[in-house]
Amino acid sequence: VCRLVVRDAQTGEVVREVTDQTEIQNAFEPFSEESGLAEEPDADAEYVFELWEPETQKLGQSADDLKEYKGLEVTTYEGSPVVGLEVSPIGLRLHITSRAAADALRALAG
């Protein structure tokens, strides 16, 4: 991950941008314990977390030409333990219930 961009889900405004890899890893650590799916909650979206990754260098491509792409988008919902995940490049969307993950992400947002 190159960076994590935190946006207010209602306004789209950037709340914070994080490049510290340890801080990003710690915020996403609770996801490693989760495996159950959930339905999208009725609550309003609160924050959107965009994980940006470096493009894979292709044969003949200069390292100077590498770009970043949004690999994952995570959404928290107001007052809800449900977290939405979207694998941006393929459009896969799912929701999980994890109070620990939702709280860790909210803490990262400030």
* pLDDT tens digits for range 37-54: 999 999 999 999 999 988
Structure tokens at 40: 């999208």
Over residues 9-19, the pLDDT tens digits come to 999 999 999 99
Which of 1, 22, 11, 14 lies closest to 69, judged by CA? Answer: 1
Q: What is the dihedral of CA 33, 17, 3, 18, to 10 degrees?
A: -60
Question: What is the spatial distance between Cα 42 and Cα 23, in angstroms, rounded to a whole number?
Answer: 30
CA atoms within 13 A on the CB side of 54: 9
109 pLDDT higher than 80: yes
